[in-house]
Amino acid sequence: MYSEVFPSIDQNELMSVIEEVGSRDVQVALQKDQLDIKDFAALISPAADPYIEEIANKAHQLTVQRFGRTILMYAPLYVSNYCTNGCRYCGFNHQNLMERHLLSHGQALDDAAVIASEGFRHLLLVSGEDPRYVDEQYLGELAVKLKGRFSSIGVEVQPLEESGYRHLSECGVDSLTIYQETYNTELYSEVHPSGKKRDFNYRLDTPERGALGGMRKVGLGVLLGLGNVSLDACNLALHARYIMQNYWRTQVSVSFPRLRAAEGGFQPYDPVSDRTLLKLICAFRLYTVDAVLVLSTRESAQFRDAVFPCGITQMSAGSKTNPGGYSSQDDTLEQFHVEDSRSVAHVAAAIREQGYEAVWKDWDPLLV
C-alpha cells in the first residue's frame, strides 16, 4: 500500500529537487516522452514561465491525441453536509454552527431529476464525512435507484473499507474521488485537528482500497492553497503514477480544487495563481499522459474557457454545492462558492465554440 511507500520518499530531497530545477531542465522535460519527477518539478517551477506557451501546446496536442476534442460533462449531487471532522478550511466543519441536512432518497432523486433534465448522465454523489448519516448502505440504495437515469455514478464521501467499495460497486457505483488535501504530514495534522480524517495513512490508502473493491476510476487531488503547492503537486504526481503502475485496470483521474473562501473564514496559506494552476494542469498531462484531468466550477468561467484545452478532459457545470440545491434553488449552506455560475447549456456552448464536443455519456451501467 502507498502508506508503506510514502515514508521512503525523502521530502527534503524532493524539496531540493524542486528548488534546483532550472530552464535547462524545462527544455529537457519538453523533449521527453516519459517524464520523471524531476521533469515534472521543472514544468511547474518558475523556470517554466518563459516556456509556458510551448508547454501548453504540447499538453494540448497530447490531450487531443489521447482523448480527442471531447470534454466529459458531470455534475455533483451533495446529499449531506453532516460531518464529524474539523477541517479548518471547510465550511462543513462540524464546529461550524450551520444548519445540517441529509437528503432523503426521495429528495436526492428530486435533485437528480433536475440534473438529468439538464442532460447529465455522469453523476458524482458528494457528502460531508459522517457515517451516521451517509454510509455504504445509504449510498448503495441510492445508487440502485439512480442507476436507470445515469450511466455513471461516482462517490466523493468519507473513506470506506474495501468491502464498502465492493458493495457500492455491486450497486452500480463505478468511481471514487478522494483528496489527500496535503501530503505534508505536519500540516495535515494541523488542519485536521479532530475526527477520523486525522488518520493520514488511512486516507492515503483509500484509492487502493477502492481499486481493490472494484472501482473502475479513482480520483486524486490536493487542496491547492493549503500546503506548499510544488511539493504537494510532486507528491500527488508520484501517488498518481504509483496507482497507475500497481493497479493496471484502474483509471486515474486528477482534480485541481483551489481553496476558496468558506464558512469559517479560512485563508489559503499558499494561494495558487492562475498561471500556477495552468502549469499544474499541463505538467500532469505530460507526466501522467493517460490520466483524466478534471476542472470544477470552483474556477471562474473565464479561466475555465481559457485553460481547458491544455489538458482537461472532464468538467462540471451548473453545480450546486449544498444539499438540495438543485431542486430548492436555495444557495445557502454551500460547501464552497461556485465561481463559474453559468448555466449548463451556456458552458456546453462555450465548449462547442472552442471546437470541442461536450460528451454527456461515456459509460454504461452494463459495464459494472
Partner 1 sequence: MHSDVLTIGDRTFQSRLLLGTGKFASNDIMRQSIEASNTEVVTVALRRVDLDAPQDDMLNHINGDSILLLPNTAGARDADEAVRLARFARNAGCPSWVKLEVTPDPRYLLPDPLETYKAAKVLIADGFHVLPYINADPVLCKHLEELGCATVMPLGSPIGSNKGIKTRENLRIIIEQAQVPVVVDAGLGAPSHAAEAMEMGADAVLVNTAIAVARHPVAMARAFAKATEAGREAFLAGLGGSSDIANASSPLKGLMWE
The CA–CA distances, whole Å, from 306 to 255, 274, 350 equal 17, 10, 10
What backbone torsions phi and psi does residue 139 show, to the nearest 5 degrees?
Answer: -65, -40
Query: Which CB, 14 or 124, lies closer to partner 1?
Result: 124
Q: Which of residues 183-202 bind ligand SF4 (CB under 6 A)?
A: 197
Of residues 24, 32, 66, 275, which one binds partner 1 by CB under 8 A? 66
Cell numbers placing 161: 473499507
Piece in contact with partner 1 (CB under 8 A), picked from 35-43, 58-66, 163-171, 302-310: 58-66
Q: Which of residues 324-353 bind partner 1 (CB under 8 A)?
A: 352
What backbone torsions phi and psi does residue 190 show, to the nearest 5 degrees?
Answer: -65, -45
Of residues 80, 81, 251, 255, which one binds partner 1 by CB under 8 A? 251
Least distance from C-beta 199 to ligand SF4, angstroms?
12
314 forms part of the interface with partner 1 (CB under 8 A): no
Work out what residue 93 binds among partner 1, ligand SF4, none; the CB cut-off runs from 5 to 8 Å by kind. Answer: ligand SF4
Least distance from C-beta 336 to ligand SF4, angstroms?
9
Say if residues 48 and 281 touch (Cβ distance below 8 Å): no
Say if residues 123 and 137 touch (Cβ distance below 8 Å): no
Say if residues 122 and 94 touch (Cβ distance below 8 Å): no
Cell numbers placing 85: 471532522
90 forms part of the interface with ligand SF4 (CB under 6 A): yes
Piece in contact with ligand SF4 (CB under 6 A), picked from 6-14, 38-46, 88-96, 111-119: 88-96
Integer Cα distance of 158 and 131 in angstroms: 8
Integer Cα distance of 6 and 306 in angstroms: 35
67 forms part of the interface with ligand SF4 (CB under 6 A): no
Integer Cα distance of 32 and 166 in angstroms: 39
32 forms part of the interface with partner 1 (CB under 8 A): no
Least distance from C-beta 130 to ligand SF4, angstroms?
8
Cell numbers placing 153: 455514478
The CA–CA distances, whole Å, from 84 to 23, 136, 176, 337, 359 equal 46, 16, 20, 21, 36
Least distance from C-beta 353 to ligand SF4, angstroms?
35
Amino acid in position 128: G
114 forms part of the interface with ligand SF4 (CB under 6 A): no
Piece in contact with ligand SF4 (CB under 6 A), picked from 43-51, 85-93, 161-169, 170-178: 85-93
Say if residues 108 and 175 touch (Cβ distance below 8 Å): no
47 forms part of the interface with ligand SF4 (CB under 6 A): no
Residues in contact with ligand SF4 by CB under 6 A are 83, 85, 87, 90, 92-93, 128-129, 197
Residues in contact with partner 1 by CB under 8 A are 64-70, 119, 121, 151, 216-217, 244, 248-251, 290, 352, 355-357, 359-364, 366-367
